[in-house]
Amino acid sequence: MAVIVVGGHTRNIGKTSVVAGLIAALPQRQWTAIKITQFGHGVCSANGEPCDCGTADHTVAVSEERERASGTDTARYLAAGASRSFWVRTRQGQLAEAMPRVRKLIADADNIIIESNSVLRFLQPTLSLSVLDPSVNDFKPSALRYLDRVDAVLMPDHFPAATWEGVSPKLLAGKPQFTFVAPEYCPAQLVSFVAARLRASETALPCATAEEALCDFS
């Protein structure tokens, strides 16, 4: 089994496009795709709508996408060729509450690709990627917290020097870097890198199981 995590330092920089691109480029993997969203105060995890509820049953929700053309990010996963696609929603800072259900999805899948930063607290994936856009100043704390654990980064072509206030260049030093030109977010070089890493992991760990990826780093 392969577990890939794709994160990024902010919203709307191509993370979903990278996930969809990898699904389409490696269809033999029969991916189960998961998007994890953590909502802030005043937004209900059940549906992403404004909410004043304080009940425990609104802290976590998991839904399976079944329509390829609904226009959602999870629909884009299906359209790219994912076998199954899920949206996991939690309150900000409460992803631990959703992890039992995420673990079950992983255990039931052939291969998993997850769009998230914070899930790296709970998983040791086969491969972790981060999408970075130096033209956007915002840098999520969750992306910074786990930046040292990502295996490679993906940036727009012709990007300026990657500098953000409070982000040490040492966190990126030595990591493989790939570039894309929108709307093509998944270049052939990245696909080759990912495929090679997955093959190498399977050769090194022929008896790997889903449970071995489910390490708690808290």
Lowest pLDDT segment from 20-29, 65-74, 136-145, 208-217: 208-217
Q: 52 or 155, which is more confident?
A: 155
| Alpha carbon distances (Å) from 199 to 110, 165, 177, 194, 206 | 15, 37, 20, 9, 10
Taking only the tens place, the pLDDT of each residue in 67-81 is 999 999 999 999 999
* Mean pLDDT computed over 177-204: 94
pLDDT of 13 above 90:
yes
156 DSSP β-pair partners:
180
Listed by start position, the domains of the chain span 3-213
> Which residues 6+ apart lie within 8 Å of 54 measured at CB?
none
Contact 134, 151 (CB under 8 A): no
Contact 14, 185 (CB under 8 A): yes
What is the residue type of 190? L
Residue 172 sits at the vertex; the CA angle it makes with 74 and 144, to the nearest 5 degrees, is: 55
pLDDT of 169 above 90:
no
Domain spanning 3-213, CATH class: alpha beta
Q: For residue 2, what are its two tokens?
A: 């392969």
